[in-house]
Amino acid sequence: MKILVIGDLRKEIARSFQRYNALKELGHDVTGLSFFISHNKYNNINHKLLYRIFHKLGFPLDNTKINYRISDHIKKHHFDLIWIEKGLMVKPSVLRKAKTIHPYLKLLSYTEDDMFARHNQSWYYKKCLPLYDIVITTKSYNCNSEELPALGARKVFFVDKAYDKYRHRPIELTQQDIQKFGADVGFIGTYEKDRAEKMLYLAHNGIKVRIWGNGWGDWVGKHPNLQVENKPVYGDDYVKAICATKINLCFLRKINRDLQTDRTMEIPACGAFMLAERTEEHSRLFEENFEASFFDVNDPEELFEKVSYYLQHDDERQQIAKAGRQRCIESKYSHHDRLQYILSKIIG
């Protein structure tokens, strides 16, 4: 199958690249167009302000000329499938043109965000929804008739999150790695009030927590037991941070109504111990207290009790981590498996 993949294709950072690479390894003829914008390229303060304004209005600027590049590719090449990752700046006129030139072309939208939420949408995205042959979402509730179908999506299909089988794996740590990334309890992710308060509760109760991610500037020095790095970790550093942490916290993003997240798969796939918010989806994906451990999001005391228990029971914690990785492999949670399923069962 000849596939044109459109998304953020940064190798070390973007999960879109992981899926792009997996599609190639599955034997398809894949071309990639990236719409990532380097901050160094557009560092003018007026341009940044203009970009934010138009994005908030729902008309994101097409700084990488992705619409022109898509049009140019479909004129020069034949594709069986155009796979668009979110694509807030992709215009409906471009998709209509693609269908006109290639009537049998399939158009697919793949989204990892809650696309019914206004902050994740754009005017272009909503206008494109009825043009896609299928919309793939990792948010089960987006399939409800009141959500993406109500916005015009003709066929919405839910798939669980996934991990990259090359990136997310147990990794041998050096003493330097342990010193650089090690922690008893750690969290990787962007600041959100609820998760911040939960970790502060742990800190007040004597638990040392290390935090990686964006938006934590105001929390630097908040408590002696909170080691706030206030920067993200990517690539192998991301994997090292997970593997060097005894208990990896997996909080869900409330603004996106998450029931699972990328770390849901990536932490166990690394052979590391995960303590996650208890949801129906988490409980379906991993057996509680055997392949991962869970806590009630409304009960910080249970979170503290679970953290305290597993810090004192190394063998049990390590066995759960090992079983969690095995579940990822046996249940086929990788990008390769997910994409093969989508293409064979959905696209046909």
Strands (E), 151-190: 156-158, 183-188
Predicted local distance difference test score (pLDDT) of residue 39: 47
Residues 335 and 328 sit within 8 Å (Cβ to Cβ): no
pLDDT digits (tens, 9 = 90+) for 104-160: 999 999 999 999 999 999 999 999 999 999 999 999 999 999 999 999 999 999 999
The two domains 2-162+334-347 and 175-330 share their CATH topology (first three levels equal): yes
Out of 3.40.50.300, 3.40.50.2000, 2.40.37.20, 3.40.1110.10, which CATH number does the structure's domain 175-330 have?
3.40.50.2000
Give the CATH number of domain 2-162+334-347. Answer: 3.40.50.2000
Return the pLDDT at 348: 59
Average pLDDT of the residues of the chain: 94
pLDDT at 46: 60
pLDDT at site 44: 59
Q: What is the pLDDT of residue 47?
A: 61
- 6-61: pLDDT as tens digits: 999 998 889 999 999 999 999 999 999 998 765 445 455 566 777 678 777 778 88
**Which segments within the chain are labelled E, that is strand?**
2-7, 29-34, 81-85, 106-111, 134-137, 156-158, 183-188, 209-212, 226-228, 245-250, 274-277, 293-295
Domain edges within the chain: 2-162+334-347, 175-330
Please give the structure tokens belonging to residue 96.
């209509």
Q: What percent of the chain has pLDDT over 90?
A: 89
- pLDDT tens digits, 228-283: 999 999 999 999 999 999 999 999 999 999 999 999 999 999 999 999 999 999 99
